[in-house]
């Protein structure tokens, strides 16, 4: 009954009466429960100092740690990082302390307190949490235009996949502010081939937006994979067509077709021609698109693997249908079905 009164008073905001009542409870377990509720209510009301006084009176470790963590979390939300760090030293559980330190460091970084955030992160033993903080610091540095510092911090990340993602983010930030040369250097020097080939088309598109067609084409030529280079050229051609540079678009499509023809893998060659056809259709070049689709089908029909042939023909049929060529799509689809039946027959199905 006394616990119930204390809890009711606490929830009503009458903490003085709640505490007086709680201290009259004879059962220590009941008293602890009441004090816990009072402290939580005080935290909700922003009375953190009062809640901290209660926490210091609770001798049960887990109960005290929970209240201390909640107080510190509220302090982080209020921007009182120094107070939260003091409490972190009172948490005996490593996991809870690491979570709190990570929250403090990320909040510091989010507010632009990069030096303080880095200092806090040094106390975090868990690698993943320390890297979460570092990523938040890097995001802040990029927002503030501190690109060199961001790249330096990115190189501290041991995990190759995570480091690549962050460096990709840094390259994107350079693209957004027009630092195309730097973005290219970062992609080529700090990213493996596949990751770099994601950045290069992005740079080329940004260069087109800036009106620098020749620079965009030079950037695309840096892409090693023929199929990726073909795709990038298609994107550029469509962009040129959309801004009224139809002749330039046709010239770029011609380059894309030439590269597609050089692809050794027959299936990839067919699919690259399909991609060109789709882009030509989007650029308003319907006749050219029909020709590219037709060639893609012819090449797909020469694929030795029946499974790969069926897959390629089906992809082309779907692309033709989506681009309004139902008649030719039906032919490609029939060829795909025939190839699939040959696969079933060969497997004795």
pLDDT digits (tens, 9 = 90+) for 81-110: 999 999 999 998 888 999 999 999 999 999
Coil, strand or helix at 41:
helix
Residue 349 has pLDDT above 60, yes or no: no
Sign of CA dihedral 106, 107, 113, 119: negative
Residue 68 has pLDDT above 80, yes or no: yes
How far apart (Å, rounded) are the C-alpha atoms in residues 293 and 281? 10
Q: Are 178 and 165 in contact (CB under 8 A)?
A: no
pLDDT band, very low/low/confident/very high, at 60 (cuts 50, 70, 90):
confident
What is the predicted pLDDT for the residue at 181?
95
pLDDT band, very low/low/confident/very high, at 315 (cuts 50, 70, 90):
very high
Residue 104: which of 128, 126, 135, 82 has the closest Cα? Answer: 82
Residue 218 has pLDDT above 70, yes or no: yes
The model's pLDDT over 187-210, given as tens digits with 9 standing for 90+, comes to 999 988 888 999 999 999 999 999
Q: Are 349 and 329 in contact (CB under 8 A)?
A: no
Please state the pTM of the whole predicted model.
Answer: 0.74
pLDDT band, very low/low/confident/very high, at 347 (cuts 50, 70, 90):
low
Q: Where are the alpha helices (DSSP H) in the chain?
A: 2-11, 15-22, 28-44, 48-57, 61-77, 81-88, 94-110, 114-121, 127-143, 147-154, 160-176, 180-190, 193-209, 213-220, 226-242, 246-261, 266-282, 286-300, 306-322, 326-347
The model's pLDDT over 152-193, given as tens digits with 9 standing for 90+, comes to 999 988 888 889 999 999 999 999 999 999 999 999 999 888
Counting residues of the chain whose pLDDT is more than 90, the rounded percentage is: 77
Q: What is the mean pLDDT of residues 229-237?
A: 96
Q: What is the mean pLDDT of residues 257-286?
A: 96
Residue 26: which of 2, 57, 56, 55 has the closest Cα? Answer: 2
What is the predicted pLDDT for the residue at 293?
94
User: What Å distances lie between residue 114 and 34, 76, 88, 141, 163, CA to CA?
Assistant: 41, 15, 20, 8, 19
In whole numbers, what is the pLDDT of the chain averaged over residues?
92
Q: Are 35 and 54 in contact (CB under 8 A)?
A: yes
pLDDT band, very low/low/confident/very high, at 325 (cuts 50, 70, 90):
confident
Residue 75: which of 100, 40, 95 has the closest Cα? Answer: 100
The residues, ordered by sequence, that sit 6+ positions from 105 with a Cβ below 8 Å of its Cβ are: 117, 118, 120, 121, 124, 133, 136
Write out the two tokens for 151: 């790249």
Residue 232: which of 215, 256, 211, 213 has the closest Cα? Answer: 256
How far apart (Å, rounded) are the C-alpha atoms in residues 259 and 146? 39
How far apart (Å, rounded) are the C-alpha atoms in residues 237 and 284? 11
The model's pLDDT over 38-51, given as tens digits with 9 standing for 90+, comes to 999 999 999 999 99
């Amino acid at each position: 009954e006394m616990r119930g009164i204390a809890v009711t008073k606490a929830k009503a905001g009458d903490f003085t009466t709640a505490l007086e009542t709680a201290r009259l409870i004879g059962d220590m377990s009941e008293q602890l429960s009441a004090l816990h509720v009072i402290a939580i209510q005080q935290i909700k009301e922003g009375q953190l100092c009062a809640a901290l006084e209660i926490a210091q009176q609770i001798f049960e470790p887990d109960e005290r740690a929970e209240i201390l963590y909640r107080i510190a979390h509220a302090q982080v939300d209020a921007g009182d990082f120094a107070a939260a760090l003091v409490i972190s030293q009172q948490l005996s559980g490593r996991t809870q302390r690491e979570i709190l330190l990570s929250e403090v460091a990320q909040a510091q970084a989010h507010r632009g307190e990069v030096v303080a955030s880095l200092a806090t992160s040094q106390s975090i033993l868990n690698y993943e949490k320390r890297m979460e903080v570092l990523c938040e610091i890097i995001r802040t540095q990029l927002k503030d235009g501190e690109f060199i510092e961001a790249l330096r911090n990115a190189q501290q990340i041991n995990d190759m996949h995570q480091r690549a993602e962050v460096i990709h983010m840094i390259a994107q930030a350079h693209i957004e502010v027009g630092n195309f040369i730097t973005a290219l250097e970062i992609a080529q020097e700090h990213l493996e081939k596949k990751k770099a080939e994601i950045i290069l088309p992005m740079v080329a598109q940004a260069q087109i937006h800036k009106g620098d067609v020749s620079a965009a084409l030079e950037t695309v030529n840096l892409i090693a994979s023929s199929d990726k280079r073909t795709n990038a050229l298609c994107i550029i051609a469509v962009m040129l067509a959309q801004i009224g540079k139809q002749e330039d678009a046709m010239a770029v499509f011609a380059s894309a077709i030439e590269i597609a023809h050089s692809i050794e893998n027959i299936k990839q060659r067919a699919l690259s021609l399909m991609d060109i056809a789709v882009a030509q259709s989007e650029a308003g070049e319907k006749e050219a698109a029909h020709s590219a689709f037709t060639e893609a089908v012819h090449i797909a029909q020469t694929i030795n693997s029946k499974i790969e042939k069926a897959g390629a023909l089906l992809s082309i049929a779907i692309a033709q249908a989506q681009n309004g060529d139902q008649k030719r799509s039906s032919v490609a689809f029939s060829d795909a079905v025939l190839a699939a039946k040959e696969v079933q027959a060969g497997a004795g199905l």
